[in-house]
Structure 1
Amino acid sequence: MRGLLHSRDLALFRSVAGRRWPGADQVLPRLSRSADHGLLWFGAAAGMAALGSSARARRAALRGVASLAVASAAINTVGKRAVRRERPILDLVPMVRQLKRQPFTTSFPSGHAASAAAFATGVALESRGWGAVVAPVAAAVAASRVYTGVHYPGDVLAGAALGIGAAFALRGVVPTRGQLPAPGRPPTAAAPLPAGKDLVVVVNQESGTATATASLVREALPLAEVVECAPDELPGALVEAADRGRALGICGGDGTVNLAASVAATHGLPLAVFPGGTLNHFAYDLGIETVHDTAAALASGGAVRVDLGRFRPGPQGPGGADGYFLNAFSLGVYPELVRTRERWAPRIGGWPAGVLAAFEVLRGQRPLAAELQGKRRPLWLLFVGNGLFQRVGPAPGRRHNLADGLLDVRAVHGGRTPGLRLLAAAVAGPLTRSPVHAAVRRHRVRIAGLTPGTPYAYDGEVAYSGAELTIDKLPEALTVYCPMTL
């Protein structure tokens, strides 16, 4: 049987070698070389992350690279050692097709085909659109390995099957966004606003991709009023918009949405969120990733009620208004990280600034001295989430219920090695207790004994505390337009 398969494989290889495909001599050898060590796919992933206008594109790029890594590990540790098949003899392959540097490893299975199939499949599992773009390139890379004479067709088919299997195996460990259950959210009625009629959308001009997103909003909702303004003009613009419309729209990141949420809740208006910031955790947890998602919800009147986190006193200090958060409130290293990141971001970009900020903060920060629920001890980090954050694979991520009435409270206790303690807390996950990390559910949290002026962060914004803080929730206080098909 093995001899029969080899003879048929050889016959097919000879058939390919004897054919000339128009334009292939100039394209396929170069394409094959570009995929060496996965460089083609790493470049494609970077392009998707940079050019993609949604989180789906970035997730697809990340899943494609992760699937490629799993496939490569399987090929190099098991595949190449299981069947030591010799490479094809190149006598039948025209010189113009042959690679300048011939591979020296065994022929079965094809690592290039495995990487191509794994990347394309991983991308497609998160985004069908990007998968359709990548798939033809992956197929061409796989075909190039036979066309250039470095693999038999059977090697390529086996490699492709292994790559596809690696992508699905990874999905079994780290589910795609589509596999996760829809968040538990009480549905409610909101006024349908087809084409954005009676909707006023406020856009933060300096928030991530908000300006570009605003153009998409105008196209999708021609009857909506769109107001673009600078960050310091947002509070006044939001109040004016709430007085004019039947619903309040907001385009920006989490900090911008936070401002709009407090205004919408105060005025009793439903909120329409258009993700346009660097981070859009609240929108993504609701299943809103594009302008189309929000436009569809506005047309149908689909909406949900969500909890609103509250802390007192608010950013204005004693006697001032309450503060609110949609995602999380934190004390300790994270507020300092946010401040440092914001200082560097205009010069070197958001993600590099985040890495630099983490390095600086973990190197020089000291534990926070505070009394938490009546017990005083040093803390590196206190995190209070608006709803319980669930795991997505190996790390905490999405919230499955935005109206559970609970606070997700996590504390990383003080010590000499903040980096190791924070890493251990991340690995431990939610709702655990250890000498390093504790996580519990609460309806209310009281923090005392703070040094006045201690920085805290809420939805990516930084303010400064007095001696005490009280954190609780306003259950189902906010109505948000949301696609109900999720």
Structure 2
Amino acid sequence: MLPPRRARRAQLFVRRGVGAGLRRSRRSLRPVGALDRRITESVGRMPPNFLDDALLTLTRSANHSGLWFAAGSVLAGLGTRRTRLGATRGVMAIGLASLVANGVLKPLFPRRRPAAELLPPYRSLPDRPTSSSFPSGHSASAMAFTVGVALESPRAGLVLAPLAATVAYSRIHVGVHWTSDVAVGASLGAAIALLTTRWLPRRPIDEAIARAWLDAPTLVEGEGLSMVVNMASGRPGVDPAEEVAEAMPKAHLVRLEPGEDLLERLKEAAGHPGTRALGVAGGDGSVAAAARIAEDLDLPLAVLPAGTLNHFGRDVGVYDLQEVVDATGAGEAVAVDIGELCAFSDSTGRSECDRVVFVNTASFGGYPEMVRLREKWQDRWGKWPAASAALIVTLVQAKPIRVRIDGVETAVWMLFVGNGPYAPAGMTPSYRPRLDTGALEVRYLRADRRFSRARAVAGLLLGTLGHTRTYVEHTAKSLDVELLEGPVEVATDGEVRVSGDRLCFSIADHKVPVYRRDETKWPERASIW
């Protein structure tokens, strides 16, 4: 420890150094301040015009981001996937931008707002804010929302851009911000919107890559297609079988009523005379069952997504009935991997396995509970905020599971197996870039490290989960998992289907052809969004 006299000298030296640094910074910013004042004075000399009242009203509408929340509601109500994602990302960006601008930068960098006498009274905002002028929170929120929307829907972002620019300018026009405050605030908002891709990954393509299957039969108007239609799926009040019958009048339709056995109905459809392809209209669970029958019988598969989430349909690139009609009518299909799970249970004395096919994912531990919570919350918060919150809640409540993975003993909080590699790496899985890699993706959170639960939560919040030692991610041709403390339930494609003491995951020997139109032949239907 320094003697008191030397300590005082050291403190004085530091204060002088800091003071000198601040004085140099102020001198270097004087030209910016002078330019700010000239611009504000120029605005003040503008003659009265009809824009004065309009800009006053507009700038007030953006208080507390009310204008942007209203715009987000409109975008979400348009009903397109891109605009919904854009609204979610935009609102998320507003929250982060407001936190940084108002909660961090304003207290750190106090700056006086433009003097009231620089502008005429009829143009000035009556209820002038008293917080720091730097940076402009309104500009940060406007640009954060607009760039966030543009990342998902460029056309919607283009529509919003003039409105955001006008809101930013209105803060200068009504005399509550200097021009540099607005410029920094807008830059901050744009940067934070781009940063949201760390937690809310942006899907660069609408469909995963897969090799074309050249031998898929052409099914004009559905001739040769036998399709099982889950009558509990589809939009409320709409008969999904009638829609399919109208679009593909020559297809053979089998209605799956509530309580009927799905596999039996699929086998019945596949055995119909003249069947050259099997189809299914339903959710991911129905698709997985149809994929199992299609693989066993060596039939191509037509998928009409009609469930709640339809992860498989989104990865394949089939979103509606018209795309099924186009692809089957042109005989265009791609080769898709199918995941397999063999579950053995020593507790029941059975040596044979329960075989389950999955088209998306299989998991045990806290992961099935996380999916349930995410589905419960995502309509209110959006998919990725709901997924992050669900993972944190699940981790807090989870219990370690002792396992032996490919012969190596460890303990895990949860384990995830994907039918092919998922993106993004190091975060909760979102989508597949490819459908035909022939590999499984394995992800799990280790429970045998100190503070593993807290480290996993911190990594998720900071976007650094992939760099923590509690997180493991790799690809494999197969995976063997022994449960050392008794059987656990395994969820495949979002539904709990089987339990066992030993779980063997692999990729099926034969790929299944799935109908998907060739975008080079069938241009994307026009959409203003």
The TM-score bracket by the shorter chain reads 0.7 to 0.9
Query: What TM-score results when the alignment is normalised by the length of structure 1?
Result: 0.75
For residues 370 and 191 of structure 2, what CA distance do their matches in structure 1 show?
40
**Is the partner of 1:391 in helix, strand or coil?**
coil
> Is residue 256 of structure 1 aligned with residue 283 of structure 2?
no
Alignment correspondent of 1:269 = 299
Whichever of the two has the greater Rg, that structure is: 2
The more displaced of 246-255 and 349-358 is 349-358
Alignment correspondent of 1:385 = 418
Q: CA, structure 1 residues 193+319, in 2 after alignment: closer, same or farther (shift >3 Å)?
A: same
1:61 positional shift: 2.2
> Is residue 115 of structure 1 aligned with residue 146 of structure 2?
no
> Is residue 89 of structure 1 aligned with residue 116 of structure 2?
yes
Query: What TM-score results when the alignment is normalised by the length of structure 2?
Result: 0.70
Q: Conserved in 1, the CA contact under 8 Å of 2:370 and 2:390?
A: yes
Q: Conserved in 1, the CA contact under 8 Å of 2:459 and 2:468?
A: no
**Is the partner of 1:398 in helix, strand or coil?**
coil
Q: CA, structure 1 residues 392+197, in 2 after alignment: closer, same or farther (shift >3 Å)?
A: farther
Specify the code of the residue in structure 2 equivalent to 1:32. T
* Residue 36 (structure 1) aligned to one of 59, 63, 66: 63
> Is residue 11 of structure 1 aligned with residue 42 of structure 2?
yes
Alignment correspondent of 2:213 = 188
The more displaced of 378-387 and 134-143 is 134-143
**Is the partner of 2:127 in helix, strand or coil?**
coil
* Residue 481 (structure 2) aligned to one of 447, 452, 466: 447
For residues 481 and 373 of structure 1, what CA distance do their matches in structure 2 show?
35
Q: Conserved in 2, the CA contact under 8 Å of 1:12 and 1:153?
A: no
Alignment correspondent of 1:61 = 87
Which structure 1 segments of 5+ residues have no match? none
1:161 positional shift: 5.6
Alignment correspondent of 2:503 = 469
Identity within the alignment, %: 35
* Residue 238 (structure 1) aligned to one of 246, 262, 266: 266
Aligned length: 474
Specify the code of the residue in structure 2 equivalent to 1:307. D
1:106 positional shift: 5.3
1:467 positional shift: 3.3
Specify the code of the residue in structure 2 equivalent to 1:267. L
**Is the partner of 1:122 in helix, strand or coil?**
helix
For residues 129 and 219 of structure 1, what CA distance do their matches in structure 2 show?
35
Specify the code of the residue in structure 1 equivalent to 2:210. R
Specify the code of the residue in structure 1 equivalent to 2:311. H
Which structure 2 segments of 5+ residues have no match? 1-30, 521-529
Alignment correspondent of 2:314 = 284
> Is residue 460 of structure 1 aligned with residue 494 of structure 2?
yes
For residues 65 and 393 of structure 2, what CA distance do their matches in structure 1 show?
33
Q: What are the equivalent positions in structure 2 for 1:145-224 lying under 5 Å apart?
A: 145=171, 148-151=174-177, 159-160=185-186, 163-164=189-190, 166-168=192-194, 176-178=202-204, 183-189=208-214, 190-193=216-219, 199=225, 202-204=228-230, 206=232, 214=240, 221=247, 223=249
Q: What are the equivalent positions in structure 2 for 1:291-330 lying under 5 Å apart?
A: 294=324, 296-313=326-343, 319=352, 322-330=355-363
Residue by residue over 1:301-333, the C-alpha shift from the partner in whole angstroms, topping out at 9 and shown as x without a partner, is 432111111112499986576211122212222
Q: CA, structure 1 residues 372+38, in 2 after alignment: closer, same or farther (shift >3 Å)?
A: same
For residues 165 and 482 of structure 1, what CA distance do their matches in structure 2 show?
37
Q: Conserved in 2, the CA contact under 8 Å of 1:391 and 1:429?
A: no
Q: Conserved in 2, the CA contact under 8 Å of 1:450 and 1:467?
A: yes
For residues 242 and 166 of structure 2, what CA distance do their matches in structure 1 show?
34
The more displaced of 73-82 and 411-420 is 73-82
Q: CA, structure 1 residues 11+371, in 2 after alignment: closer, same or farther (shift >3 Å)?
A: closer
Q: CA, structure 1 residues 281+296, in 2 after alignment: closer, same or farther (shift >3 Å)?
A: same
Q: Conserved in 2, the CA contact under 8 Å of 1:184 and 1:402?
A: yes
Alignment correspondent of 1:371 = 404
1:456 positional shift: 0.9
Root-mean-square deviation (Å): 4.8
For residues 154 and 81 of structure 2, what CA distance do their matches in structure 1 show?
14
1:111 positional shift: 3.0
1:86 positional shift: 3.7
For residues 358 and 250 of structure 2, what CA distance do their matches in structure 1 show?
27
